[in-house]
Chains A and B, each alone.
Chain A
Amino acid sequence: MAKKKILFVEDYAALQEAFKIALGAEGYDVTTAGTCHEAVESAKADQPDLVVLDMLLPDEGGMEFLRKYPLKDHPGTIVVVFSNLSSPELFTEAQQLGASRYLVKSNYTPKQLAEVIADIFKS
């Protein structure tokens, strides 16, 4: 079976690195992006199975990614929002734009995130 493709969108280098190592070790094909622009380009090119999406990015926010890469046009992609910003407004907006989960970054270790992702792919 082909490796599942994950696009990990995160501008903070240390976080990007750590999660890339762990998700790679768990058997995923991991691409990273540090800006919204890079993320949209990469997603369009690679059609990832899952995007782990930070909300605060240096160019535009994660919501903008969801608008520029509309999930209704890409039914094969699942988006998990992964951010330290958490508010009911953000949660609702992300959900309306098609995000499947909204996880608070500081609550998850790379291994725990990998477990959540494995569960998502299972269901």
Chain B
Amino acid sequence: MKHIPKKKEQDVGSYKDYVKQRVDTLVPILARSAVGDYSMDVPMDVSHDDFSELYAGVQFMIEAIRDQLAEIDQRNDELRAKIDELEHLRADDETLLNSIGEAVVAVDDKGKVRYANQEMIDFVGIEYAEMVGKELGSYILEDQYGEKVKPSRRPISIALKRGVRVSISNEYYYTVGDERIPVWVTANPIKVNDKVVGAISVWRNIAREKELDRMKSDLIFLASHQLKTPASAVKSSLSLLIDGYLGDMPTKQMNDLRTAYAENNFELKLIDDILNVASLESKRVLVEPERFDFSVVIRDIVSEEKAAAADRKQKLKLTAPAKLAVTGDPTKLREVFENLITNAIKYRPEGGRIGISVKSFGADFVVTVVDDGIGIPEKEISSIFARFFRASNATQINMPGTGLGLYLAKSIVEMHGGGIEVESEMGKGTTFTVTLPKKYKEMKHNG
């Protein structure tokens, strides 16, 4: 390395100039660096003096900084691309949630609104910014009786608390201005690693469905009258003749009259069954629970059906406790067992016995109806509870039936929270087993 010359006194002045000139070269470079501009290079240095190392050091530093900056830029680009991608995904999610056609709202684990889609905002009629961060419970849902649904009973609260999916079978209403809108509400917990971190709720405006439902029930109402009245007139006129109010009737004519009477009754039953199915399916049928003695009901049915059984030379045998207190819908449950017992009578050849037993098992009771009739073909057993289904051997023996009785029976039993099972062997007979809770509980939430 070359040393700075300083042997002569007069050289001191020029030395100072030399140092100044060497340093001055670096000043603009360092000044720019200080404000983040690393574009200038240190000039090529051929002096090989003490400053050369400094020049090389500064140049090295600038280049190192440039490399680092380039790397940072590249990382920034990558990050920006990731952010763009996430933004897109978020926009996609938002578009998805906005296009879903249902009002969707998500809350955090405290029940505060994290997100609401456009439909939800429109539904409650409140600005997004005002909804977010507030408890969803402040948007008041009412039940069908106009009572406020307590915050703790709301589907989203239950989903948060229990971590289960909640859907509401009974209806809620939300009032916007003067309009009371019926809503169907479901809520699902949002889980991360099995921990509930929030919940998402969907509200659906079911005003249109309700309107259709009302129209359907009006139609059912009208049809029940229009179809049944003429058939009732036929029934009453025929029974005037059969019961002898219009004088005696020769046996031959009487037999034909009885056939006409039975066919007409069958038609009335068919109308009733169809109307019942229509009502069940429009979900207008509700269980109207009351406390009653099931033993009385089953004894009534058995005594009513005794005549029909006697016509076919069959005996009905009932085993039931003296009393059996049950809470349920007596009219609908009566229909279940009437259907099962009439089936047993119809599908059992003349003679023999039909056994009906009622037993209490803790909170449940079990009714079995056993016949030794024609049985149900094995491959048809799984279909017998389907609407309008009739077993092939039942139609072969030309036994009239609507194919709705068992469907109705199953629907009613299930509405009560019970179950119905069947065992059958061709030519040996059939056993229906109905299990029902002694106390009907309204199933508000299923989840």
Q: Is B268 an interface residue (CB 8 A)?
A: yes
Q: Is B74 an interface residue (CB 8 A)?
A: no
Q: Which single member of B221, B228, B245 contacts A105 (CB below 8 Å)?
A: B228
Q: How far is the CB of A105 from chain B (nearest CB, A)?
A: 5
CA distance A19 to B233 in the complex (A): 10
Residues of B within 8 A of A (CB): 221, 224-225, 228-233, 235-237, 239-240, 243, 245-246, 268, 271-272, 288
A15 contacts across to B, CB distance below 8 A: 229, 232-233, 236
The 5 nearest A-B residue pairs measured at CB? A109-B239, A14-B233, A18-B236, A84-B228, A111-B243
| A78-120 with Cβ < 8 A to chain B | 84-88, 105-106, 109-111
Indicate whether A109 sits within 8 Å of B224 (C-beta atoms), given known contacts A21-B245, A25-B245.
no
Q: How far is the CB of B127 from chain A (nearest CB, A)?
A: 42
- On whether the beta carbons of A106 and B235 are closer than 8 Å, the reply is yes
Chain A residue nearest to B269 (CB atoms) is: A106
Q: Which single member of A14, A17, A85 contacts B221 (CB below 8 Å)?
A: A85
Chain B residue nearest to A24 (CB atoms) is: B245
Q: Which single member of B221, B232, B237 contacts A106 (CB below 8 Å)?
A: B232
Q: List 17 A-B contacts (CB under 8 A).
A: A12-B229, A12-B233, A14-B236, A18-B237, A19-B236, A21-B240, A22-B236, A85-B221, A85-B225, A87-B221, A106-B235, A106-B272, A109-B243, A110-B243, A110-B245, A111-B243, A111-B245
| A9-36 with Cβ < 8 A to chain B | 12, 14-15, 17-19, 21-22, 25
Interface size class of A (residues with CB under 8 A): 20 to 34
B231 contacts across to A, CB distance below 8 A: 106
Q: How far is the CB of B244 from chain A (nearest CB, A)?
A: 9
Q: How far is the CB of A92 from chain B (nearest CB, A)?
A: 10
Q: How far is the CB of A118 from chain B (nearest CB, A)?
A: 14
Q: Is A56 an interface residue (CB 8 A)?
A: yes
- On whether the beta carbons of A109 and B236 are closer than 8 Å, the reply is yes
Taking A25-B245, A110-B236, A110-B243 as known contacts, 13 extra A-B pairs with beta carbons closer than 8 A to each other, sorted by chain A number, are A12-B230, A12-B233, A15-B232, A18-B239, A22-B236, A84-B228, A84-B232, A105-B232, A106-B268, A106-B271, A109-B236, A109-B243, A110-B239
Q: How far is the CB of B210 from chain A (nearest CB, A)?
A: 17
- On whether the beta carbons of B239 and A106 are closer than 8 Å, the reply is no
CA distance A46 to B265 in the complex (A): 35
CA distance A104 to B228 in the complex (A): 10
- On whether the beta carbons of B224 and A88 are closer than 8 Å, the reply is no
- On whether the beta carbons of A18 and B240 are closer than 8 Å, the reply is yes
- On whether the beta carbons of B246 and A85 are closer than 8 Å, the reply is no
Q: How far is the CB of B274 from chain A (nearest CB, A)?
A: 13
Chain B residue nearest to A107 (CB atoms) is: B268
A19 contacts across to B, CB distance below 8 A: 236
CA distance A89 to B240 in the complex (A): 32
Q: How far is the CB of A68 from chain B (nearest CB, A)?
A: 22
CA distance A19 to B237 in the complex (A): 9
Chain B residue nearest to A13 (CB atoms) is: B233
Chain B CB within 10 Å — which of A14, A19, A106, A111 has the most?
Answer: A106
Q: How far is the CB of A10 from chain B (nearest CB, A)?
A: 10
B232 contacts across to A, CB distance below 8 A: 12, 15, 84, 105-106
A84 contacts across to B, CB distance below 8 A: 224-225, 228-229, 232
B243 contacts across to A, CB distance below 8 A: 22, 109-111
- On whether the beta carbons of B239 and A21 are closer than 8 Å, the reply is no
Q: Which single member of A12, A14, A17, A111 contacts B239 (CB below 8 Å)?
A: A111
**What 0/1 readout, one digit per residue, does chain A (53-77) give for beta carbons within 8 Å of chain B?**
0001000000000000000000000
